[in-house]
Amino acid sequence: MSAAGISPYVLGAVLAMAAVTIACRATPFVFFMKRRPPEVVDYLQKYIPPMIMTVLVLGSYKTTSFAMPRDWVPGIAAGLAVAGLHLWKRNTLLSIFGGTALYMVLIRIM
Amino acid sequence: MDRDIGSSAFGPAFHASIPVLLGYITIGLAFGLLLVKSGQPWWLAVVMSAFVYAGAAQFMAVGLLSAGTSIAEIAVLTFVINARHMVYGLSLLGRFSVCKRFKAYLVFALTDETYGILTTVNPPKGVDKESFYATVSALDQSYWIIGSTLGALIGGVLPFDTKGIDFALTALFIVLLVEQIRVIQRPEPYVVATIATAIALVLVGPANLLIVAILIAIAGILPFRKALA
């Protein structure tokens, strides 16, 4: 397909995706632009971030297979290394580089 | 460069964004490569990363577009994948209430990773919050655009093996979770979210796990309102 010859279909699909995505992200801000959020939103604002981070961490492992050690050991070991490093040194970059390096080594040697 | 995004915000914002740099460049490379291999022009990768800017939905679109899926179906599937972002906004109402000039962009650019950084990392004292948020958001998106553009143009001939480097994003989430645990030292949110994820995995499997898990977690944390007050 040439650069100039993109189909109206593809263009329309991408526009629709952009519109839906921005709508999802903007909904709460638009909804509460004029009205005060109910008190329960104050409560949720505090506890949603830790819950979402928990879901995102667990979700990162959602397709992990436990059939063979090489399927799950690199991800789990590197994940524990990240948490351990971070609890110990609390240096974000060290935790992330260290864990990622360990992961990249493990998936190659296992 | 705008004076509001001064050097004082750039340093801390860049530092906070480095994990995303690793993840977005490599995952963006994979996206750009896949899109071009599916028969689309290279610049569609740039257009999508600039205007859609939603990783999972963009990956999904590669297959849907080459299968000729209807636009209505693509829109519905995009909604299912990105509905979790409605919840993200809900927990940022207070934080973004100080924002004026860049608020529209901050809302547009709210990915999982940017959300994680903005809700967990506080800018150093003296750094304007909105400038910090906007700089983190813009840097993150620039990594995603650079990665997907490179992937679309030269992804097929990369000379080095980057397999596994995208673990940096999992690592980022783990670091941000540890930071959350330091601030909120109550077991309820973590236990509720873990149970919610397990239930969601059983109910819907991996495909739409995140939004279902998040909705169950929110329902599950409501009864603890008195206990956590």
Distance CA(B13)–CA(A83), nearest Å, equals 22
Contacts of B226 by beta carbon, 8 Å cutoff, 6+ apart: none
Spatial separation of the C-alpha atoms in residues B16 and B121, rounded to whole Å = 7
Q: Are B127 and B8 in contact (CB under 8 A)?
A: yes
pLDDT at residue number B102: 95
- The reply to whether A55 and A10 lie within a common domain is no
Of B54, B71, B196, the CB nearest to A13: B71
Q: Based on the domain organization, do A87 and A59 belong to the same domain?
A: yes
- CA gap B88, B25 in Å, rounded: 23
Of A19, A45, A47, the CB nearest to B228: A47
Q: Using the Cα atoms of residue B72, residue B77, residue B80 and residue B86 in order, give the sign of their dihedral.
A: negative
How far apart CA B13 and CA B117 sit, in angstroms, is 10
Mean pLDDT over each residue of chain B, to the nearest integer: 91
Residues A58 and A30 in one domain: no
Q: Looking at the predicted structure, is the pLDDT value of residue B55 above 80?
A: yes
CB contact under 8 A, A16 and B75: yes
Structure confidence by residue, pLDDT tens digits, B77-116: 899 889 899 999 999 998 999 999 999 999 999 999 999 9
Q: What is the pLDDT of residue B7?
A: 56
Q: Are B39 and B66 contacting, i.e. CB atoms less than 8 angstroms apart?
A: yes
DSSP state of B126: T
Residues 6+ apart with CB under 8 A from B140: B17, B20, B24, B109, B111, B113, B114, B117
Say if residues B154 and B31 touch (Cβ distance below 8 Å).
no
A100–B171: do the CB atoms touch at under 8 Å? yes
Lowest mean pLDDT among A35-39, B136-140, B147-151: A35-39
Q: Does A110 touch chain B (CB under 8 A)?
A: no
The answer to whether the Cβ–Cβ distance between B108 and A40 falls below 8 Å is no
- Shared domain for A72 and A103, answered yes or no, is yes
B82/A3 touch (CB, cutoff 8 Å), yes or no: no
A-B C-beta contacts closer than 8 Å: 249
Chain B within 8 Å of A66 (Cβ-Cβ)?
A: no
**Number of domains comprising chain A:** 2
CA closest to A104 among chain B residues = B164
DSSP-derived letter for residue A64 is -
Same domain, A49 and A79: yes
Q: Are residues A67 and A88 in the same domain?
A: yes
Tell me which H or E stretch contains B199.
helix B187-204
C-beta atoms of B91 and A52 within 8 A: yes
DSSP B207: T
Among B70, B113, B170, which would you mutate to test the A interface (most chain A Cβ atoms within 10 Å of its Cβ)?
B170
B68 compared with A6, residue with greater pLDDT:
B68
Judge if A56 and A17 occupy the same domain.
no
pLDDT one-digit tens code per residue, B115-147: 999 999 999 988 999 999 999 999 999 999 999
What sign results for the dihedral spanned by CA atoms A8, A10, A11, A12? positive
Task: Tell me what pLDDT residue A5 has.
Answer: 61
From the list B108, B120, B217, the residue facing A51 with the nearest CB is B217
Residue B218 pLDDT grade (very low, low, confident, very high; cuts 50, 70, 90): very high
pLDDT at residue A42 greater than cutoff 90: no
Alpha helices by DSSP H, chain A: 8-31, 39-60, 69-89, 92-109
What is the DSSP secondary structure assignment for residue B224, as one 8-state letter? G
- The minimal CB distance from A95 to the residues B39, B53, B171 is found for B171
> B81, B54 in Cβ contact below 8 A?
yes
Is there a single domain that holds both residue A47 and residue A81? yes
- Please state at what angle helix B7-37 crosses helix B129-154, rounded to 10 degrees: 30
Token pair of B166 as six digits: 């995208």
Q: What local confidence, expressed as pLDDT, does residue B56 receive?
A: 87
Choose the mutation target among B20, B92, B160, B173 for the interface with A, i.e. most A CBs under 10 Å. Answer: B173
Q: How far is it, in rounded angstroms, from Cα B35 to Cα B42?
A: 8
ipTM score assigned to the predicted complex: 0.89
Q: Indicate the range of A40-49, B162-171, B181-190 predicted with least confidence.
A: B162-171
Residue A35: φ, ψ to 5°? -105, 155
> Quick one: A31 and A46 in the same domain?
no
* A74 lies in the same domain as A20: no
* Selected residue of A1, A2, A21, A109 to mutate for chain B interface (largest B Cβ count, 10 A): A21
Kindly state whether residues A30 and A43 are assigned to the same domain. Answer: no
B184 phi and psi angles, rounded to 5 deg: -110, 95
The DSSP line for B91-122 is TTHHHHTT--TTHHHHHHT--HHHHHHHHHPP
Q: What is the pLDDT at residue A1?
A: 45
Per-residue pLDDT for A108 more than 70? yes
Q: List the single residue in B with minimal CA-CA distance to A93.
A: B19
Query: Is the pLDDT at B16 greater than 90, yes or no?
Result: yes
First to last CA, chain B: 44
Helix (H) or strand (E) holding B208: none
Q: Check residue B1 and give its pLDDT.
A: 46
Check CB contact of A91 with chain B, cutoff 8 Å: no
pLDDT digits (tens, 9 = 90+) for A49-100: 999 999 999 999 998 999 999 999 999 999 999 999 999 998 888 998 899 9
Helix locations, B38-166, DSSP H: 42-51, 55-67, 71-82, 84-90, 93-96, 103-108, 112-120, 129-154
Query: Do A54 and A89 fall into the same domain?
Result: yes
Asked if B118 contacts B95 with a C-beta cutoff of 8 angstroms, the reply is yes
pLDDT in tens, B175-197: 999 999 999 999 999 999 999 99
Q: Which domain holds residue A85?
A: 39-109
Which residues does chain B have within 8 Å of residue A61's beta carbon, measured at their own beta carbons? 170
Interface test with chain B among A7, A40, A48, by most B beta carbons within 10 Å: A48
What integer pLDDT is reported at residue B188 of this predicted model? 96
